[in-house]
């Protein structure tokens, strides 16, 4: 209960006619006009998202890298200034506290971009693990907002109002730069949560309305549209990107979640959860994230169950009628005994009715 938190773009959303919802305590736009049209705008042209509810943490000090190496299963040691990566925070049991992006601004200055719903939990967790490291954690979340510009036209639109060389050779995925957008100093990374090319722009609260307006104006001729959280969810689902609270939680390891590519068990530094993850890998996963598709138009949804004959084998974590593909898609977890193979097909219980599902390789959608 209590009042909802607002981002610095709240007045803009309301002026644009957005339908606002309570999203984990935040007053956020779920859609402006249509989830399906906003989804399509991002796949075909470009969309603009307010993701200021996410957390930006600053970690500074001579031991900042060592602290990060201890906190995450991915290997940040190869990162130089301006580079970043996707990773998780794991607990000692290998479960996932959050998934996040980290960016190296310089050897002694790093940024961590965390999920909105986990901001407070993550901050306390990281702070509690810094004992013995010469590194200071602070949160920029209450004065830095984030705008995401995503879609095939994102780079063209941005290039009209930003001097930075946006060529993917000079600015590859997960890199970050300080730059200006029409005179406003911002940080800008090539990253996102849609499966399209795109950017996330970190802007002080005082300038964020001006930057939002500049971007919308610059993209007008390309059909840039503001996009709410409804389409953000269907976009990330098609791209099979995990959403904390759905595909990830503190009982689920990144290995189970199919994020093994971001877990570097061989890295020299010890890290929280390392032993548990090594053991899990050696003994074999007991549950595995899968993707599946259905016939018809009925959507699988979180907590629906997965069945093989009369045995429940798993549970759905996310699903939707895919706006881009036109058929229902879902992700979930299947329980496995040691040595068992994943079934190629199974049933989803949709409100008391069994619907045959076929397992598919993730992601469902990959940009061409």
Partner 1 sequence: MSDYFFTESHECFKLEDGVAVVSITEYAVEQLGEITYVQLPGVNQSLSQGDSFGEIESVKTVSELYAPVAGSVSEVNADLESSPETVNDDPLGKGWLIKLKVDGEPDTSKLMDRAAYNSYLESLR
Question: Which residues bind to partner 1, rule: CB under 8 A?
Answer: 30-31, 34-36, 230, 234, 296-299, 301, 320-321, 323, 351
Residue 58 C-beta: closest distance to partner 1, Å: 35
Which residue, 297 or 361, has its beta carbon nearer to partner 1? 297
Residue 299 C-beta: closest distance to partner 1, Å: 6
Report which DSSP code applies to 117: G
Which residue, 128 or 353, has its beta carbon nearer to partner 1? 353
Residues 263 and 267: their CA atoms lie apart, in Å, by 9
Residue 169 C-beta: closest distance to partner 1, Å: 37
For 16, counting Cβ atoms within 10 Å of its Cβ (0-12 exposed, 13-18 middle, 19+ buried), the class is: middle
Which residue, 31 or 262, has its beta carbon nearer to partner 1? 31
Residue 348 C-beta: closest distance to partner 1, Å: 13
Q: Which of 239, 238, 246, 196 is nearest to 323 (CA)?
A: 238
Are the CB atoms for 87 and 113 separated by under 8 Å? Answer: no
Residue 6 C-beta: closest distance to partner 1, Å: 19
User: What burial letters (b/e) apply to 318-329, b meaning 16+ CB within 10 Å?
Assistant: bbbbbbbeeebb
Residue 321 C-beta: closest distance to partner 1, Å: 5
Q: What are phi and psi of 109, to 5 degrees?
A: -145, 115
State how far the alpha carbon of 279 is from the alpha carbons of 88, 99, 234, 273, 285, in Å.
Answer: 18, 21, 34, 10, 10
Residue 20 C-beta: closest distance to partner 1, Å: 13
What are 98's strand-pairing partners?
89
Residues 85 and 101: their CA atoms lie apart, in Å, by 6
Q: Which of 35, 30, 33, 22 is nearest to 50 (CA)?
A: 30
Residue 297 C-beta: closest distance to partner 1, Å: 4
Q: Is the peptide bond before 50 cis (omega within 30 degrees of 0)?
A: no
Residue 322 C-beta: closest distance to partner 1, Å: 10
Which residue, 96 or 234, has its beta carbon nearer to partner 1? 234
Which residue, 40 or 156, has its beta carbon nearer to partner 1? 40
Which residue, 267 or 298, has its beta carbon nearer to partner 1? 298
Which residue, 60 or 298, has its beta carbon nearer to partner 1? 298
Q: Radius of gyration over alpha carbons of the chain, in Å?
A: 21
Helix (H, G, I), strand (E, B) or coil at 11: helix
Contacts (Cβ under 8 Å, ≥6 apart) of 319: 237, 299, 300, 301, 302, 304, 328, 329, 330, 331, 332
Which residue, 142 or 303, has its beta carbon nearer to partner 1? 303
State how far the alpha carbon of 164 is from the alpha carbons of 95, 109, 144, 177, 301, in Å.
Answer: 39, 22, 20, 8, 41
Which residue, 188 or 227, has its beta carbon nearer to partner 1? 227
| Cβ-based neighbour number of residue 126 at 10 Å | 22
């Amino acid at each position: 209960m209590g009042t909802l938190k607002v981002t610095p773009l709240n007045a803009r959303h309301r002026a644009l006619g957005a339908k606002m919802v309570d999203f984990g305590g935040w007053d956020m736009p779920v859609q402006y006009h249509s989830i399906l049209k906003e989804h399509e705008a991002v796949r075909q042209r470009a969309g603009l998202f307010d993701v200021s509810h996410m957390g930006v943490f600053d970690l500074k000090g001579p031991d900042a890298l060592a602290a990060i190496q201890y906190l995450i299963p991915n290997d940040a040691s190869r990162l130089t200034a301006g580079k970043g990566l996707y990773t998780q925070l794991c607990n000692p049991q290998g479960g996932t506290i959050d998934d996040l992006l980290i960016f190296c601004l310089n050897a002694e200055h790093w940024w961590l971009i965390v999920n909105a719903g986990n901001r407070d939990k993550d901050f306390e967790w990281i702070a509690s693990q810094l004992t013995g490291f010469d590194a200071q954690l602070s949160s920029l979340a209450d004065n830095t907002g984030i705008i995401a510009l995503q879609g095939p036209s994102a780079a063209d639109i941005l290039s009209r109002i930003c001097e930075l060389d946006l060529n993917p050779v000079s600015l590859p995925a997960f890199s970050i730069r300080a730059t200006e957008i029409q005179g406003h100093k911002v940080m800008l990374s090539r990253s996102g949560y849609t499966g399209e090319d795109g950017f996330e722009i970190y802007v002080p609260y005082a300038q964020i309305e001006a930057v939002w307006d500049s971007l919308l104006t610059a993209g007008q001729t390309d059909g840039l549209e503001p996009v709410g959280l409804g389409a953000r969810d269907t976009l990330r689902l098609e791209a099979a990107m995990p959403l904390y609270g759905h595909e990830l939680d503190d009982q689920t390891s990144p290995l189970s979640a199919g994020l093994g590519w971001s877990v570097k068990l061989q890295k020299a530094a010890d890290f929280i959860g390392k032993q548990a993850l090594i053991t899990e890998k050696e003994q074999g996963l007991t549950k595995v994230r899968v993707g599946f598709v259905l016939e018809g138009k009925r959507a699988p949804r979180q907590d629906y169950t997965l069945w093989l004959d009369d045995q429940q084998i798993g549970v759905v974590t996310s699903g939707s009628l895919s706006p881009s593909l036109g058929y229902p898609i879902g992700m979930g977890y299947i329980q496995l005994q040691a040595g068992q193979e994943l079934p190629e097909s199974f049933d989803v219980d949709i409100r008391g009715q069994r619907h045959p599902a076929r397992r598919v390789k993730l992601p469902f959608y990959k940009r061409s």
